[in-house]
Amino acid sequence: MDKVALTDFIKSNIVNIPIDEQSLQIIAEQFEERTFKKDEYLLKEGKVSGYFFLSEGFLRVFTFDTDGNEVTTYFYSQNKIVFDAASFFLKRPSTENIQAMTECKVYVTNFEKLNQLFHSVAAFREFGRQIIVQEFVAYKQRTLAMINQSAEKRYLKLIETNKDVFQFAHLSHIASYLGISERTLNRIRQNFTKK
């Protein structure tokens, strides 16, 4: 089984610590390749999250508001680590869903295998730390943007950081992610096409 995309991603996301091919092989052995069809779920609310590397495809993360409406909380394009951190590390049922918006190829592992890698491969421990920091910063920035940025600025930021979103996600998903109505999203898009 070819795990080059996984090992290349790990190598490219480890800063200041060398990693040898043997260590990369040990890491790769702890991940299982899986394929998900469009609309299949990698994680459903109420289940405990796995730890995924998205090699190919596009994912949407969503939950439900108090009225039962879907609210998109994140989008992932290929070459990203994907998981519900609270569910995965605390071994608690997730309150989110992770759904394939296209056919997806992922590499998945569980808490026990990942924890063993953190303890046995120093470079992977650094990799894990860097991924957690990146995700924390992304979520913090998103939370603040919902408070202190206009819908237009949030729209522009989404285009800059995730160009695939308009190719693979429904407008209703994008609107809910931005915290706006579809009508407002359409108005913003029309305004930017006129410029």
How many domains does the structure of the chain reveal?
A: 1
Position 19 pLDDT exceeds 60? yes
Task: Please check whether residue 53 lies inside any domain of the structure.
Answer: yes
Average pLDDT over residues 180-195: 88
pLDDT digits (tens, 9 = 90+) for 143-154: 999 999 999 999
Position 195 pLDDT exceeds 70? no
Compute the chain's Rg from CA coordinates.
18
Task: Please check whether residue 47 lies inside any domain of the structure.
Answer: yes
Task: Please check whether residue 176 lies inside any domain of the structure.
Answer: no
Kindly report the CATH number assigned to the domain that includes residue 112. 2.60.120.10
Task: Please check whether residue 126 lies inside any domain of the structure.
Answer: yes
Task: Please check whether residue 111 lies inside any domain of the structure.
Answer: yes
Helix or strand holding residue 80 (H, E): strand 80-82
Task: Please check whether residue 64 lies inside any domain of the structure.
Answer: yes
Q: How confident is the model at residue 1 (pLDDT cuts 50, 70, 90)?
A: very low
Tokens of 171: 């407008």
User: Model-level pTM?
Assistant: 0.91
Residue in the structure block whose two tokens are 């992610």 = 177
- Domain assignment of residue 43, given as a range: 4-148
Average pLDDT over residues 24-46: 97
Q: What value does the mean pLDDT of the chain take?
A: 93
